[in-house]
Structure 1
């Protein structure tokens, strides 16, 4: 263990109007601490507020002009000095005197005449406590720095109220990851200066981030005009999948409102969002100069691929099968089916989140789901009839893609899982 240097020693402020007492205490403590002295209350207050402040103040009570009680009261009233431990030294030995000192915020008493071993032990104890307190304060500042930019302030406060060192360590967690990309921003940015462009982008990202934080999500990072966020860490959230889907609803609506407000482009601002639920590695990643709290793993890749898959299906929000299963009831979604995406060997069944939050807003949805169930039961002919009728009333890319699969199933006599959408090159 490295030996402590004089610069590393704790700083002790001795306050007494009697030179003999100061000389005794200095001789007793000077080999263990950096000593500062004050011979009056006014000097004590000024030196306590110095930078760096003392770790402990040893304060005499009976002093002229301003006694130790008044000095202690003023120390505790000043934000700069209120946390410095105060040890009273006094010849007064009544219980009422001690009670008064403790009521003002003192942490201990040392009686005159001094007993060297007792004085040294009490100062050493409170120096250790003070250093521990400072280490906790530094850790809290580190947590605020690491999470404050990315997490709702209420969640940061919760982290600080229930400190857990493992929160900052890399570990595996089950989370829901949301990847959102702004659609229409390129056309909106045409014929604008860089200052105007960054101002618009800043406003869009700010308002979308507000929706993430409102549902206690963690903002991972901005990637140009894209956003990566997740739920389920650093604090456990059993309903993380539902929160992520609800965020997609709210972000999509906010983006539509922003498109109307900002205007200036041939296409309104929209969002493409992908959400995946599953295991990730989560923790602080970076160097001593910068550290970000982030998620890494296949679930992140899947969320990104689902965001891109919206281009193929002409959809807005796509989620993984597990996200739909864990998001619960009462959310308007339709099953698109099995897909294969770049970077993954397996097949993933995916679902579209419909922007209106309840199924009643989509009278055609039950007919679509009935057709999909027919395909799952290998009744391709029934599915073809249902989808052909549905297209007359409501025509979109997803319905046409499902009809195409039904026709291929009929012609090739293969089950639904063999007719996945291959999006590796799309």
Structure 2
């Protein structure tokens, strides 16, 4: 629990720092731009029409700027008669012109009344302070009924327009004044973003000169029930910010009735590199307010809750999954978050933070990984100490890489089990002093353990003078049978060397080994408090039985058919027949693992065994006798001679299958 709280708290703090920082907000802004570009155009903007003061109009009207205000008055009357719902002029009329011109425009405003004009904020600086002043249209226009609004277009830190401008303490924005004129009320929310209808030139458009005579130039009803925005306009161009420096004004300024056109980058600029004129920014902002579909960023409280939930969830996930699975799951989670956030953006107009949640995924994964690494290292130290005397370095390395192999209760694995026992140990122990027995056994067990480790085996346990070793558990071993058999041969050689070295009166060290391969249960068979890794199962019992059968057959190393079959032709084996051991109904075929070249003996013995199984006991006796001539002390040949004599005197039943019961 402490780990979950700690990692979750760390993730939350670091993610929130990024969320509130400039880099985090910058990433979120660029994500907003990408989402906007992917989403494409919104529904067609049928509510608004733009009348542009463009180059074509200058050419057709053949008048320099500023145009006489009577022309603007004429446009107001024409649009009013055409059924326009409202007229918003993104032009500042802060200074009087010729009286008759001002009067003509004022009369048009008074006649139509649904007119909003642009205002401006001017900052007057002195040595001691700076004062903001509202620059409004001339009193004659305001007195005639014109509303006004600040036409500034605020930019984000990366010079891109995204947010709805509501105004300043000095006055409302141009769009908010237009809403008031239309009788529409909206709750002020400075975090809301403009729902852009698409890239530049998305609105129905008419050049100024055509709007003066719509019957001649425009379709019937072009302005009917439309909100008309009038302002300077330029064809959208694919240009970078560096290309337009000095050509357009790209900073926070109101439109000016002098040279140039204010051009702005919108969210779609990231894809199409098209700048939009200020009049289109006003049109998109106004449309967002009319439709009330401006995009809403998730509130700070919501972002904190979101990041907190993500932190706790990811901590639990990363704690319970392996590193590889955690990587895949974190990637899938990040992708799912991107998809969900985009769907909320495009369908619900809700913009989720991008940088902080995805950084939470990364931070949580890294911190969980570090904590897991510390925990794994602690567990590895424990395992290293616990298994330093039981596992070979190679096997120990595999266990440290995957400690789950040692989980309590065990699991089914394919393993090869070896049992060894000293012949006559009890009699030897009775003759010697305890200190001498301990000295001999310490030397013997040390040598056997080294051999087992050399061939990547696991020392399961010592049982008196017996040794139990395993291959294939707890670490997998594709050549487990080969390694066990090679270890058995080397154990016999080391035992012989020890017997030659240690002179024990009346006793010579001699060892018997049994090996079997099959499915066993391997794992911690102890408790949560005490660790005891071992293997259990029927195949373990078979290995133990085979070790004991060596005494009957006079052999040193006996293996089961399952072990011999996995040797792939490696090693030398002599088949000893089929037996039924105590506790098992099915017979098993047994083999002697032979060290050295004994092919002549093996060939004669196996021919005799074949005759024996076929019930031709006289022929079998002949072969076994021949084997004894090759090796007079061969105990298996002597044993089968005795069995042949027995069956000659007492023939077996007709359904006899050659299996010997023990």
Residue 642 of structure 2 corresponds to which residue in structure 1?
A: 404
1:235 aligns with 2:475: yes
Q: Would the aligned equivalents of 2:612 and 2:658 in 1 still touch at CA under 8 Å? A: no
Query: Post-superposition shift, 1:343?
Result: 2.3
> Greater relative contact order (Cα 8 A, min sep 6): structure 1 or 2?
2
Q: Would the aligned equivalents of 1:187 and 1:265 in 2 still touch at CA under 8 Å? A: no
Q: Would the aligned equivalents of 1:209 and 1:219 in 2 still touch at CA under 8 Å? A: yes
* Cα distance in 2 between the residues matched to 1:418 and 1:353: 24
Name the CA shift for 1:323/1:127 in 2 (closer, same or farther; >3 Å): closer
* Cα distance in 2 between the residues matched to 1:415 and 1:235: 48
Name the CA shift for 1:126/1:204 in 2 (closer, same or farther; >3 Å): same
* Cα distance in 2 between the residues matched to 1:366 and 1:416: 27
Query: Post-superposition shift, 1:146?
Result: 4.2
1:320 aligns with 2:560: yes
* Cα distance in 2 between the residues matched to 1:336 and 1:371: 11
1:375 aligns with 2:615: no
Please, which moves more after superposition, 297-306 or 376-385? 376-385
Residue 194 of structure 1 corresponds to which residue in structure 2?
A: 434
Query: Post-superposition shift, 1:124?
Result: 8.2
* Cα distance in 2 between the residues matched to 1:259 and 1:330: 28
Structure 2 counterparts to residues 97-116 of structure 1, below 5 A? none
* Cα distance in 2 between the residues matched to 1:415 and 1:298: 31
* Cα distance in 2 between the residues matched to 1:335 and 1:275: 14
Q: Would the aligned equivalents of 1:280 and 1:296 in 2 still touch at CA under 8 Å? A: yes
Q: 1:211 aligns with which of 423, 432, 451?
A: 451
Indicate the RMSD between aligned Cα atoms, in angstroms: 3.2
Query: Post-superposition shift, 1:190?
Result: 4.4
Residue 134 of structure 1 corresponds to which residue in structure 2?
A: 374
* Cα distance in 2 between the residues matched to 1:416 and 1:365: 27
Greater C-alpha Rg: 2
Q: Determine helix, strand or coil for the equivalent of 1:291.
A: coil
Q: Would the aligned equivalents of 1:146 and 1:292 in 2 still touch at CA under 8 Å? A: no
1:275 aligns with 2:515: yes
Residue 603 of structure 2 corresponds to which residue in structure 1?
A: 366
Name the CA shift for 1:366/1:415 in 2 (closer, same or farther; >3 Å): farther
Query: Post-superposition shift, 1:123?
Result: 9.5
* Cα distance in 2 between the residues matched to 1:382 and 1:255: 38
1:331 aligns with 2:585: no
Residue 291 of structure 1 corresponds to which residue in structure 2?
A: 531
Query: Post-superposition shift, 1:157?
Result: 2.0
Structure 2 counterparts to residues 44-83 of structure 1, below 5 A? none
Residue 418 of structure 1 corresponds to which residue in structure 2?
A: 657
Query: Post-superposition shift, 1:278?
Result: 1.0
* Cα distance in 2 between the residues matched to 1:347 and 1:239: 25
* Cα distance in 2 between the residues matched to 1:222 and 1:347: 29
Q: Determine helix, strand or coil for the equivalent of 1:351.
A: strand
Q: Determine helix, strand or coil for the equivalent of 1:254.
A: helix
TM-score when scaled to structure 2? Answer: 0.43
* Cα distance in 1 between the residues matched to 2:452 and 2:646: 41
Q: Determine helix, strand or coil for the equivalent of 1:334.
A: strand
Name the CA shift for 1:415/1:281 in 2 (closer, same or farther; >3 Å): farther
Name the CA shift for 1:303/1:126 in 2 (closer, same or farther; >3 Å): closer
Q: 1:357 aligns with which of 582, 591, 596?
A: 596
Cα distance per residue 1:347-379 (max 9 Å; x no partner): 22211222x23435xx32211112112234443
Query: Post-superposition shift, 1:323?
Result: 1.3
Residue 392 of structure 2 corresponds to which residue in structure 1?
A: 152
Structure 2: which 5+ runs fail to align? 8-355
1:308 aligns with 2:548: yes
Q: How many corresponding residue pairs? A: 310
* Cα distance in 2 between the residues matched to 1:172 and 1:143: 21
* Cα distance in 2 between the residues matched to 1:211 and 1:266: 27
Cα distance per residue 1:121-149 (max 9 Å; x no partner): 89988765543222121232243244332
* Cα distance in 2 between the residues matched to 1:396 and 1:123: 71
Residue 255 of structure 1 corresponds to which residue in structure 2?
A: 495
TM-score when scaled to structure 1? Answer: 0.65
Residue 181 of structure 1 corresponds to which residue in structure 2?
A: 421
* Cα distance in 1 between the residues matched to 2:524 and 2:636: 40
Q: Would the aligned equivalents of 1:331 and 1:357 in 2 still touch at CA under 8 Å? A: no
Structure 1: which 5+ runs fail to align? 11-116
